[in-house]
Amino acid sequence: MAYAQLALALASSASLAAASLLLPENRYDSAVLALAIFTMSMLCFLIAFSGKLDALRARLGRSQAKEQQLQALLDHSPAALILLNKHFRPIYTNQKFHSLSGISDDSVPDTADIERLLSLISEETRQRIRSTIEQGRSWEGELHIQLADREEYVAAVASATKDEQGNIEHYIFSCEDISENKAIANRLFVREHYSVLTGLPNRQLALKNLQRTIEQQGEDASGFAILHLDLDRIRFINDSLGHHVVDRLFRETAERLRRCINDEQLLAHLGADEFLIILGEGSCSDEASIFAETVLSKVSERYLIDTNEINVSASIGISQYPDHGRDAETLLRRAEAAMFAAKGKGGNQFSFYQAGMSSQAEYRLETESQLRRAIERDEFKLHFQPVIELGSNRLVAAEVLLRWHNNELRNPGPDQFISVAEECGMIGMIGEWVMINACQQAMRWRRAGLPEINIAVNISARQFEESEIVDTVRRALQQSGLPARQLELEITEGLLINDTPNLRQCFQELKALGVRLSLDDFGTGYASLSYLKRYPFDILKIDRSFVHDIDQSQDSVTLVNAIIAMAHSFGMSVIAEGVENLQQRRLLKDHHCDMVQGFLYTPALNAEAFSDWAKRYADVHEAQHI
């Protein structure tokens, strides 16, 4: 329109100017000249006005574009935004606010809507937000909003704008829905702080709760007690019935323990077969004793899992705050030490912590820690004790004995560290190291010119889990090149109480490899005579407890003679352990014992000393023809 007006003014001005200048009769007419001048002035004004109008139109277009961009940015913001005046009346809201608040997009929230939303927040929180804003600061926090059909967690920021006099003009709220993130965080918290198997608090959360309980104790508090419970002989149940049965056993145990506690007490699953119970404030030793007896009674009741009837027991250690410790770690460690003391007495009982118990538990933990680095530090050494054939007096075998050279623990014996290795899951790795190195040593002796001798290696029951021992033996034979007939595996009677198809399959696979199987320490464990028929043993070893007084007790002679006769009837050879004098050797030979070993010949020797002893023995035997 402006351009049309400009064009019209320009045409009119040109016509008038031409008329005043070209027409003779109007050349100096003052009226026409004034009109021409006025028209030219209007023309200049319109030209300037049109330029200004174009600039304003361009600025308006840019402003509208920016407004559209800003609106798009606000509407697509992940945060819900609302601008309120100083009377808390809404001025602006974006689309996210409508979806978060539940107010429809086509309606503008009013003061009632805002008050309804604010009512979902606790009065204390609202007062804290208002107080923070009035102090000129922004408030940031997390809000829990309980709606009719759901609950939401919102991360909110609240601030205010003020005029030049410092009076509040507007309130600005920014809210972001973090419900999904909160749900993920809650799931992670549950995963990190609760047992997946039983749903109980785990060790980490139990320690936090225990420390919180300690912090809540006042100066005049009467203290409280904690119970550390460990199920007895779970390993044997696991070996015989499998992990799935043991897992169900743990869940059932957790449920029984839940029924024993009240709201003031806390139950936690520390891991595997260990549980912790924190008794309420003021629980004395008598109350702890009664509670422990109740728990032992409940746990010892028969379990029915699938078609299995299982009987288990538990060992409980009790420590008390503040007598036995003033922090969570100390109390738990001392309750665990008391538990080990109860287990050492045979289990199915409880024991209170006493001074000195913790040193035993700490020694066990240190043993486990040192064991994990023993192989890489080359601290394990093999010793060998010779086995002599009585009929020919020849050296026919050597039993492998493991020695641990660790100065920090003062060189603990196998009876001290083997059980720890079994409990902490390291016996498989240690057993494989022994097997491979023993087979390699036998081949080195063979290449050095020693007579061909068998090598006897003790096997832990743990190594039979999931047929692990079969793979270990196979690798040892392949890596060393030792003929399978020269390898003897010594197995204790305790393994046989878990008479399972898996165990029998392991024995069959070992026999298929060609190795020899020996039943060690016969008569001291749990084996019945039926095991001698059921399992393909080649050798039976008479325990030293039956041999040590054979030269003084006729009853021992009768018993040893019966064992030898029975073994021969099953086609097995017999080795007597612990032979210390010639009289014992003579009696065993008279009763047709096949082989002997003991201090009569030599204590266990390291590989080099054994090689020297074997050469001297062979020379003496050949010279004297004993």
Read off the pLDDT of residues 392-409 as tens digits, 9 standing for 90 and up: 999 999 999 999 999 888
DSSP H helices in 481-541: 501-513, 529-534
- Mean pLDDT to the nearest integer, 227-237: 87
**Lowest-confidence segment of 76-80, 305-309, 464-468, 522-526 by average pLDDT:** 522-526
Place 177 in a pLDDT band, splitting at 50, 70 and 90.
confident
Beta bridge partners of 573: 539
| Amino acid 397: pLDDT | 95
The reply to whether 429 and 578 lie within a common domain is yes
| Amino acid 129: pLDDT | 78
The reply to whether 509 and 565 lie within a common domain is yes
| Amino acid 45: pLDDT | 72
Where in the sequence is the domain holding 11, given as residue range(s)?
2-74
More confident residue, 414 or 496: 414
Q: What is the CATH number of the domain that holds 93?
A: 3.30.450.20
More confident residue, 522 or 98: 522
**pLDDT surpasses 70 at 440:** yes
Structure tokens belonging to residue 427: 């016996």
- Mean pLDDT to the nearest integer, 98-114: 60
The reply to whether 451 and 530 lie within a common domain is yes
| Amino acid 8: pLDDT | 57
> Is residue 361 one of the residues assigned to a domain?
no
Query: How many domains is the chain partitioned into structurally?
Result: 4
State pLDDT tens for residues 571-617. Answer: 999 999 999 999 999 999 999 999 999 999 999 999 999 999 999 99
Residue pair 452/492 in contact (Cβ under 8 Å)? The answer is no
Structure tokens belonging to residue 434: 């022994």
> Is residue 192 one of the residues assigned to a domain?
no
The reply to whether 315 and 419 lie within a common domain is no
The reply to whether 509 and 378 lie within a common domain is yes
Q: How is 567-619 classified by DSSP, letter by letter?
A: HHHTT-EEEE----SHHHHHHHHHTT--EE-STTT---EEHHHHHHHHHHHHH
The reply to whether 425 and 313 lie within a common domain is no
Query: Of 52, 74, 96, at which residue does a domain stop?
Result: 74
| Amino acid 605: pLDDT | 95
Query: Of 33, 50, 74, at which residue does a domain stop?
Result: 74
Q: What is the dihedral of CA 543, 549, 554, 557, to 10 degrees?
A: 30
- Mean pLDDT to the nearest integer, 62-88: 68
Structure tokens belonging to residue 471: 């793979």
| Amino acid 297: pLDDT | 94
Structure tokens belonging to residue 431: 């057993």
**pLDDT surpasses 70 at 16:** no
| Amino acid 140: pLDDT | 85
Alpha carbon distances (Å) from 402 to 381, 383, 433, 582: 6, 6, 10, 27
Q: Give the distance from CA 136 to its chain's centroid.
A: 48
The reply to whether 421 and 545 lie within a common domain is yes
Residue pair 486/451 in contact (Cβ under 8 Å)? The answer is no
| Amino acid 147: pLDDT | 62
Residue pair 455/486 in contact (Cβ under 8 Å)? The answer is yes
**pLDDT surpasses 80 at 211:** yes
The reply to whether 420 and 528 lie within a common domain is yes
Place 26 in a pLDDT band, splitting at 50, 70 and 90.
very low
- Mean pLDDT to the nearest integer, 21-40: 60
More confident residue, 255 or 216: 255
- 59 — phi, psi (to 5°)? -65, -40
* Residue 248 to residue 246: CA distance in whole angstroms: 5
Query: Of 74, 101, 134, at which residue does a domain stop?
Result: 74
Dmax over Cα atoms in the chain, in whole Å?
171
The reply to whether 448 and 533 lie within a common domain is yes
- Mean pLDDT to the nearest integer, 156-184: 80
Share of the chain above pLDDT 70, in %: 81
> Is residue 625 one of the residues assigned to a domain?
no
**Lowest-confidence segment of 253-262, 264-273, 447-456, 524-533 by average pLDDT:** 524-533
> Is residue 526 one of the residues assigned to a domain?
yes
- Mean pLDDT to the nearest integer, 59-63: 73
Share of the chain above pLDDT 90, in %: 35
State pLDDT tens for residues 500-513. Answer: 777 888 888 999 99
The reply to whether 58 and 201 lie within a common domain is no
The reply to whether 334 and 278 lie within a common domain is yes
| Amino acid 544: pLDDT | 87
> Is residue 191 one of the residues assigned to a domain?
no
Global pTM reads 0.54
Alpha carbon distances (Å) from 421 to 461, 468, 496: 12, 16, 20
The reply to whether 394 and 481 lie within a common domain is yes
Mean of all residue pLDDT scores within the chain: 82
| Amino acid 19: pLDDT | 57
| Amino acid 444: pLDDT | 95
> Is residue 188 one of the residues assigned to a domain?
no
